[in-house]
Amino acid sequence: MSLKRRDFLKIIGGSALSFSLLDCSPSPYHSSIRKGQWSPGVEKWVQTVCQACPGGCGILVRVVDGKAVKIEGNPAHPVNRGRLCPVGQAGLQVLYNPDRIKGPMKKIGGRSSREWRSISWEEAMETLVSKLKELKNSGDTHKLVLLNGEKRGMMDEIFSRFMNVFGSPNYFGDDSNMSLIRAFYLTQGIDSLLAYDFENSNYILSFGSSFLSSWPSPVQSMRAYAFLRQGRSGKKAKIVQVEPRFSITASRADRWIPVEPGTEGMLALGIAYVIVKERLYDRSFVEKFTFGFEDWKDKEGNTHSGFESLISNRYRLDLVSETTGVSVSTIVSLAKEFATNKPAVAIFDNNATNYSNGLYNALAIHSLNALVGSIDVPGGVLVQRKVPLQDLPPVAVDEVTRKGLLQPGIDSSANGRFPVASSTPSLIPDNILEGRPYPANLLLMYKSNPIFSSPNSERYRKAFEKIPFIVSFSSFMNESTQYADLILPDKTYLEKWQYAESSPVSKIPVLGIGKPAIENLFNAKPTEDVILDLAQRMGSYFAGHFPWENSKDFLLYKIDNLFKARKGIVFADYFEESQLRLLEERGWWVPQFTSAREFKDELMRKGGWWDPAYDYGVRSFVFRSPSRRFEFYSQLFKERIEKIAEHEGESSEDRKEAILQNLKIEAKGDDVFMPHYEEPRFKGDAKKYPLYLYIYQPLSLAEDHGSNQPWFQEIMGFHLNMTWDSWAEINPDTAAELGISDNDLIWIESDYGRLHVRAKIYHGAMPDVVSVPYGLGHTALGRWAKNRGINPIELIPIDFDELTGLALKFSVRVKIYKA
C-alpha cells in the first residue's frame, strides 16, 4: 500500500490545519492545566455485565472514590474476552448523562402538558398501586398494557411473571426481528434467532446483515471476523455482502454486491437455481434432513411440487438478473463459490426482511443453508442451548387473573390477517384508538419509545391521548415518556443487580452476573426492584408469588439451578479454562465444586458461567418442524392458512385462494408455502418518486439514547466526515443529474412527509437508493439529541408485512431536490 502525502492531506481535508488567528489568543501566562483536577482516590474494579445491547459482554468498571471513571472488557468473559465496542465504552455517558430523569415525577395537568413535579418514591408507588388495584377490583386486569423494548434477561422474567399474576395478556416487546424468527419457525420450528458458527465458516454470504455493526452481539461477530481474516491458519474465509448500500460490513467484506432493495430473496433464489441445476447441493443432507425438496405425495396421495421444480421452473438467471440488478455471471460465481467452499453460511437480518416480501426473502436466504447442508454443522447455522436457570415457582392464578388472561390480546387482528404472526404489536395503537377488542386503561413503558421508532407515530400520539393513565420507567425524557402521567426512573445497567445471557446468535450459552458498580446516583430505582416492591404492596396474593426481597435475591434464586445442571464451567483463568474446555468438548464434565454454596460463591466472584461445548446432531433440538426436518415446504405455514379457512367455515380451495389474495400473495398452489419471490410493494409512484429510501443504523446509534451521548455525535458519520447532524447518502451520478453537490441542503420527500437534510455524495450509494441513518431527529430525549438531524421514519407510512404483521421500514419511494 502506498499513500502519498498529498493524497493523505486531501483525504483529511486539512481538518486539523484549519485555524484562525482571530478566534483565540492564548496568553503565554495562562494556566495550562485545569485546577482542582488531580485527585487520586481509592480505586476498585467492579465486575459486571454490559447491557447496552443484547450481546451481554462482561465488563470491569473502574470506580475511584465511588465514581465510575472507565469501563473495560472483562478478560474472563467468553463473549468479549476483555474487549469492548464503542457502545460499551461509552456507558459512562449514559450513567452520568445530565439529562437522566433524576427522581420520580408526576404530571401536572392533562396529557398534553409537559410539566411534572417531583414526588417521593412512596407517593409514586402508592399511585401506581392504587391504579393497579382499581383494575384488579373491577376485573379489568387485561386492560393493563406493558411495552418492553428490551425483552430479555431478568427484567423480562419479572415483567412476564407480574403480568401473568396480575392477569393481562398484553405484554409486548420490540418486533424488529419478527420476520427472521418467523422464517426460522416455519422452516425449522424454532421460535428464536439462530446462532452462527462464523469462526469455522469458509464462506459467509451476507444479505444486508450488519454483522460488523449493529449485530445482536457485535463484539463477538467482530472478533469472529478478525479470526477469519488473520487469526486462523490454513484456508481463508471469503465474505460477500449483498446490500443496497456500501455499509461498514460491505466495506470490510471481500466483495460487495449492490442489489435492488427488496430483491435479496430473488438473488438467493437465483443462487439456489444454479446450485440445483448444477447439482451442487449437498445431496445427503437434502435427503436426510429436508422436506419438500423433490416433488412429493401427501397422505391422500396428491402430488405436490417441491422446491427443486419451483426453482427450476421459475428462477431463470436472466429473470433474476433483471430483477436484482446483479449480472448473470456474478450470480453463477456466487453460487459456485457458496456451494464449493463448505462450510458456507447464508446470513441476514432485518435489513433484508423489512419489506412487504420480507418473510419470503428470509425463507429464500435461509434455504441456501439447507441446500449446502450448513445446518447443525461446524461453520454453519446452529441453535443455542439456553442457560439452565431455575424456573420460577408455578403461578396459582385467582379467578380475576384467570379471566383476564383468557382475554384476546390488545394486539389482536381480524381472523385471517397476519397468519404467521405470533403477536402484532404494530397494531396496538390502532386497536387502542378504536377500543378494540377493549379499551386500554393503564400503559406501562420500559425502554420503549414507539413515538420515535414507529412509522406514522401520529397513531401512537392519538392512542396515548386515549389511555387514562400512562407510566414510564424510562431513564430519559424521550418522546413517549413525555406522555407519561407518572415516571418511575430506572437505574442504568451499571447500577443494577442482573444477569445477562449471551444473545441467541452466539452458539454457546453464557451467563454473566451483574452487580452495581456505583450507588446513590440520583433518586432512581432499578425497575426490577420497583416491580418486586409493587408486588409486596399489592396484597398477599401478589406478595406470595414474589417471595424475593429484592433484585439481588431474585438473581440468586435464578442461578440456584446451575450447580445441579451438571454442565458448563464457571469463568476461570485461561489455563484452567482451556483444560476444562478440552475435557468438556470430549464429552466429559468435571465437577469444579463440592457444594452448591461453594459453587455459588465462586460464580459470584468470577462473574459468570458458560458451557463451551456444543452438542451436534441432536435432531429433535435443531429440527422441531412437523417432519423433524428443514422444511422447504413449510407444513406449519400450510396449517396456519388451513386453520383460517376452517375458522371461516369452509375449507374449499376457492376460500384459500381468497385468503391468499387478501394476503396479497401472488404465488399459487404449493409455491405459497415455499421460498419464492414476491415483488416488494412500495408506496409512491415510481415516476414521481424515483428513489428508494434505505434506513440503516450505525452501531453508535443502536440504542435509543445514543444520540444524546456527545461522543457518538462525533463519530457516527466518520465515513463521510459528518458530525452532529444527519445526512443523506447519494450516488454521484444521481446527484449530478439532480444538480446536487456535496453538503448541499436537500429535501427528501415521500407521499407522507418531507425532511430537510444535508446531502453527502457517496460512492457507495446505488443510483436509485438514498440512504439515511436512523437514530437522530429526536424532538425530546436530551440537550444533545433534541432537534438535531432528522428521523427518516417520519417519511414512512404504516404498512404491514401481511404475513407477519411487522410494520415495514422499507416501504416507500422518495424524491430528493435541492432546498
d(CA 124, CA 806): 35
Query: Smallest distance from the beta carbon of 82 to another protein, in angstroms?
Result: 7
Largest separation between any pair of C-alpha atoms in the chain: 96
Return the number of the residue (72 or 657) whose C-beta is nearest another protein.
72
Query: Smallest distance from the beta carbon of 22 to another protein, in angstroms?
Result: 11
Return the number of the residue (40 or 301) whose C-beta is nearest another protein.
40
Q: And the C-alpha cell for 323? A: 430483477
Return the number of the residue (400 or 521) whose C-beta is nearest another protein.
521
User: Which strands, in side-by-side order, build the sheet including 115-118?
Assistant: 115-118, 105-108, 486-487, 469-472, 442-446, 144-148, 171-172
Query: Smallest distance from the beta carbon of 274 to another protein, in angstroms?
Result: 20
d(CA 632, CA 176): 24
Query: Smallest distance from the beta carbon of 234 to another protein, in angstroms?
Result: 16
Picking from 806, 815, 771, the residue whose alpha carbon sits closest to that of residue 792 is: 771
d(CA 766, CA 246): 8
Give Cα 111 to chain centroid, integer Å: 31
Return the number of the residue (244 or 429) whose C-beta is nearest another protein.
244
First to last CA, the chain: 41
Return the number of the residue (41 or 393) whose C-beta is nearest another protein.
41
Query: Smallest distance from the beta carbon of 758 to another protein, in angstroms?
Result: 11
Query: Smallest distance from the beta carbon of 71 to another protein, in angstroms?
Result: 7
Return the number of the residue (231 or 435) whose C-beta is nearest another protein.
231
CA–CA distance from 105 to each of 121, 430, 783 (Å)?
Answer: 9, 28, 19
Return the number of the residue (304 or 719) whose C-beta is nearest another protein.
719
Residue by residue, what is the 3-state secondary structure of 772-783? EECCCCECCCCC
Return the number of the residue (218 or 404) whose C-beta is nearest another protein.
218
d(CA 355, CA 348): 13
Return the number of the residue (550 or 723) whose C-beta is nearest another protein.
723
d(CA 373, CA 381): 9
* 712 Cβ neighbours under 8 A, 6+ residues apart: 86, 90, 700, 701, 706
Return the number of the residue (48 or 441) whose C-beta is nearest another protein.
48
Q: And the C-alpha cell for 381? A: 447455522
- Helices 264-277, 307-314: inter-axial angle, 10-degree rounding: 110
- Helices 317-324, 264-277: inter-axial angle, 10-degree rounding: 160
Query: Smallest distance from the beta carbon of 621 to another protein, in angstroms?
Result: 30
d(CA 705, CA 708): 5
Query: Smallest distance from the beta carbon of 665 to another protein, in angstroms?
Result: 32
Query: Smallest distance from the beta carbon of 738 to another protein, in angstroms?
Result: 17
Return the number of the residue (70 or 605) whose C-beta is nearest another protein.
70
Return the number of the residue (98 or 437) whose C-beta is nearest another protein.
98
Q: And the C-alpha cell for 720? A: 463521510
Q: Which residues of 738-754 are buried (b: 16+ CB within 10 A; e: fewer)?
A: bebeeebebebbbebbb
d(CA 580, CA 589): 8
Query: Smallest distance from the beta carbon of 104 to another protein, in angstroms?
Result: 18
Instruction: Provide the residue count of the chain.
Output: 819
CA–CA distance from 35 to each of 30, 32, 65 (Å)?
Answer: 12, 9, 19
d(CA 758, CA 746): 6
d(CA 259, CA 270): 13
Return the number of the residue (132 or 242) whose C-beta is nearest another protein.
242
Q: What is the CA radius of gyration of the chain?
A: 27
Picking from 259, 269, 256, the residue whose alpha carbon sits closest to that of residue 368 is: 269
Return the number of the residue (55 or 404) whose C-beta is nearest another protein.
55
Query: Smallest distance from the beta carbon of 771 to another protein, in angstroms?
Result: 14
Q: And the C-alpha cell for 775? A: 437514530
Query: Smallest distance from the beta carbon of 612 to another protein, in angstroms?
Result: 20
Query: Smallest distance from the beta carbon of 419 to another protein, in angstroms?
Result: 38
Query: Smallest distance from the beta carbon of 687 to another protein, in angstroms?
Result: 25
Query: CA angle 781-786-791, nearest 5°?
Result: 95
Query: Smallest distance from the beta carbon of 220 to another protein, in angstroms?
Result: 9
347 close to 196: Cβ distance less than 8 angstroms:
yes
Return the number of the residue (38 or 575) whose C-beta is nearest another protein.
38
d(CA 366, CA 359): 11
